[in-house]
Amino acid sequence: MCRMFSCVVMPDDRVLVSSDICQHSHTEIRKEHGIRDGVSINTAANVEVYPEHGDYNSDPETWVMHCDHEREPEWYFEDKPAIVDRCRVATKRWQKKLLSAKKIDGDLHIDAGCELRLDKCTSVGGSVFVSANGKLDLPVCTSVGGKVYVSVSGKLDLPVCTSVGGEVYVNGKLDLPVCTSVGGEVYVNGKLDLPVCTSVGGYVFVSANGKLDLPVCTSVGGSVFVSANGKLDLPVCTSVGGYVYGKLNTPMLQK
């Protein structure tokens, strides 16, 4: 998987980036600029620029630059100082655009051990993925259009998010204190708090040792599964679209 930030460097001094600030696939960058993927490194070079210690809010001048090939092409090696300078400029431009974005249209991926804070982003149109030991702060984001995925030891702060359009998958711990609806499935292999969520569009699955509280949820569109040692509270839920498996607190359904 290509790192954030990625670009394609050309022998004619161009540094090509995606028009999507969250797109870092070299294949997609090449496609966008009409360059065939797999073309000789004598024609184009894949480059990644990233913070050594994972902090994407830090100064790009300190970031690591990596030519993503088994060997650097001759033209790249000969002009490396100038290429480094051009890539630094492109990286700073990208970072400024990312940190000032009020809306993220695509998917937002935080790699393992990396962290990012977006103080101005009010919505993510795609999905949000936080890998192991990654950290993402979205203090003013009110909606996520796609999935929310938090891996083991990942940390995601969405204190004012009111809706998630897709599924919520938690392998660690996640609090969504003001989220009122989840459009897709909810899968919990850790701990998820949804204190004001009134509806889940898909199924609800709580694995062994998982914990999910849905104190005001009145409907689940799919089935409800609770594994051994899992814990799910649905005290006011009156409607489940599928089957109910396992032991859970659903007094309204039992009436």
Question: Is residue 55 scored above 80 in pLDDT?
Answer: yes
Question: Is residue 230 scored above 60 in pLDDT?
Answer: yes
- What integer pLDDT is reported at residue 254 of this predicted model? 59
Residue 75 CB partners (closer than 8 Å, separation 6+): 11, 42
How many helices and strands, by DSSP H and E, does the chain display? 3, 27
Which whole number is the average pLDDT over 28-53?
A: 82
Domain count across the chain: 2
Q: Are residues 116 and 93 in the same domain?
A: no
Q: Answer yes or no: is 197 within a domain.
A: yes
Q: Are residues 138 and 214 in the same domain?
A: yes
Q: Are residues 123 and 155 in the same domain?
A: yes
Q: Answer yes or no: is 160 within a domain.
A: yes
26: closest CA among 42, 51, 45? 45
Domain extent at residue 72: 6-100
Q: Are residues 153 and 59 in the same domain?
A: no
Which whole number is the average pLDDT over 32-50?
A: 79
Q: Answer yes or no: is 122 within a domain.
A: yes
- What integer pLDDT is reported at residue 140 of this predicted model? 98
Reported as a single tens digit per residue, the pLDDT across 65-101 is 988 876 777 888 888 899 999 999 999 999 999 999 9
Q: Answer yes or no: is 1 within a domain.
A: no
Which whole number is the average pLDDT over 24-46?
A: 80
Q: Answer yes or no: is 255 within a domain.
A: no
Which whole number is the average pLDDT over 53-66?
A: 94
Domain end call among 57, 83, 100? 100
- What integer pLDDT is reported at residue 2 of this predicted model? 72
Band (pLDDT 50/70/90 cuts) for residue 208 is: confident
Which whole number is the average pLDDT over 54-58?
A: 96
